[in-house]
């Protein structure tokens, strides 16, 4: 184990882990070292004396005296600026933050889990059986995903129980429904322009949200950029933008932030929230205009 002076010196108060498989397993591994409360987030706005595991930082994030562990955009965007006043462990050669934590702190994790996480993080879930099952279990249980419970199972190394949960959930009725809905969404994806596609989903339907997340992976195989847009009635409220091409989305999130959208993420994926009433067609027009600047 590394015995970095800075890590030992600061009295951390809590853990923020990304609200996905890599975050929950990475967070569980950190629980082996730091006995702290753990919370799961999609984006960090501010933090002090916090261990942040792979959670994207907002563009205006205020981070102080914290330990940040990540494997994305080590020198770009908000994370590149977070090296001042914080201790950052970041290495882009790792395909998952769990793999980075495993090596850095000399921890024990089954190779099958790390391989599955690598495929999920790369958006290649169909290339490996466990990664497909894990992602399906995740998107079909977005509203009830047991983040803290799984993190605590990781902490004690109870991998068998985690796999049993994955096996059960990946063949459930919910998983079957999400897969069928995702197929429809891929088929009906709208083209904004030149291989940039958008999928709409209902914010009040967890299965529709999960299907959109699954469909987003599928459309990225063909599209330059994929977008999913969460709607309620005639209004748009949030979404995710992702790419597997060599396109830097950080500029997109900056441009959206100028319009008072709460946006942020990484160079290849990120999210946004619209904090005021905006009709769906208007939101789509804005996304089309902003995305056209980076393609």
3-state helix, strand, coil in the chain (%, to 5): 40, 25, 35
Looking at residue 279, the DSSP 8-state letter turns out to be: B
Same domain (yes/no): 125, 262: no
Whether residues 225 and 138 share a domain: the answer is: no
Q: How confident is the model at residue 295 (pLDDT cuts 50, 70, 90)?
A: confident
Determine the structural domain holding residue 21 and report its residue range.
5-170
User: Is residue 44 within 8 Å of residue 16, measured between CB atoms?
Assistant: yes
Our count of domains for the chain comes to 2
Neighbours of 209 (CB within 10 A): 21
pLDDT score, position 8: 65
Domain identity same for 56 and 166:
yes
160 & 190 share domain: no
Q: What CATH number is associated with residue 269?
A: 3.10.310.30
> Closest Cα to residue 58, out of 23, 39, 82?
82
Flag whether pLDDT at 138 surpasses 80: yes
Residue 162 CB neighbours (<10 A): 22
CB 137 within 8 A of CB 169: yes
Q: What is the DSSP letter of 45?
A: E
Q: Mind listing the pLDDT tens digit for each residue in 180-202? A: 999 999 999 999 999 999 999 99
pLDDT value for 40? 98
Whether residue 136 is found in the same domain as residue 101: yes
Tell me, yes or no, whether 165 and 184 share the same domain.
no
Same domain for 51 and 89, yes or no, is yes
Same domain, 24 and 136: yes
Q: Compute the distance between CA of residue 38 and CA of residue 41 in angstroms, rounded to an integer.
A: 10
Is 19 in the same domain as 151? yes
The residue among 170, 194, 209 that closes a domain is 170
CA–CA distance, 106 with 44 (Å, rounded to integer): 27
Same domain, yes or no, for 197 and 157?
no
**Coil/strand/helix, residue 194:** coil
- pLDDT at residue 43 is higher than 50: yes
Of the residues 117, 147, 170, the one at which a domain ends: 170
Which of the listed residues 142, 170, 198 is the one where a domain comes to its end?
Answer: 170
Contact 39, 15 (CB under 8 A): yes
Check whether residue 24 and residue 96 sit in a common domain: yes
Q: Are residues 97 and 234 in the same domain?
A: no
């Amino acid at each position: 184990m590394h015995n970095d002076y800075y890590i030992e010196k600061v009295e951390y108060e809590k853990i923020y882990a990304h609200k996905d498989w890599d975050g929950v397993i990475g967070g569980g591994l950190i629980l082996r070292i730091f006995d702290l409360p753990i919370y799961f987030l999609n984006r960090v706005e501010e933090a002090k004396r916090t261990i942040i595991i792979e959670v994207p930082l907002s563009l205006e994030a205020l981070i102080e005296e914290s330990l940040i562990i990540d494997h994305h955009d080590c020198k770009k965007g908000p994370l590149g600026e977070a090296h001042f006043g914080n201790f950052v462990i970041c290495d882009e050669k790792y395909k998952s933050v769990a793999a980075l934590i495993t090596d850095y702190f000399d921890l024990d994790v089954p190779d099958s889990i790390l391989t599955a996480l690598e495929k999920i993080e790369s958006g290649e879930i169909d290339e490996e059986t466990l990664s497909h099952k894990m992602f399906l279990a995740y998107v079909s249980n977005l509203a009830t995903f047991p983040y803290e419970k799984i993190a605590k199972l990781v902490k004690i190394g109870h991998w068998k129980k985690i796999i049993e949960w994955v096996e059960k959930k990946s063949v459930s009725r919910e998983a079957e429904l999400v897969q069928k809905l995702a197929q429809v969404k891929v088929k009906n994806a709208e083209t904004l322009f030149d291989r940039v596609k958008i999928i709409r989903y209902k914010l009040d339907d967890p299965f529709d949200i999960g299907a959109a997340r699954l469909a987003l992976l599928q459309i990225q195989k063909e599209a330059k950029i994929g977008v999913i847009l969460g709607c309620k009635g005639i209004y748009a409220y949030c979404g995710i933008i992702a790419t597997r091409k060599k396109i830097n989305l950080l500029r997109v999130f900056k441009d959206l932030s100028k319009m008072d959208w709460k946006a942020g993420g990484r160079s290849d994926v990120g999210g946004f929230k619209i904090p005021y009433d905006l009709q769906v067609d208007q939101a789509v027009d804005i996304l089309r205009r902003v995305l056209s600047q980076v393609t």
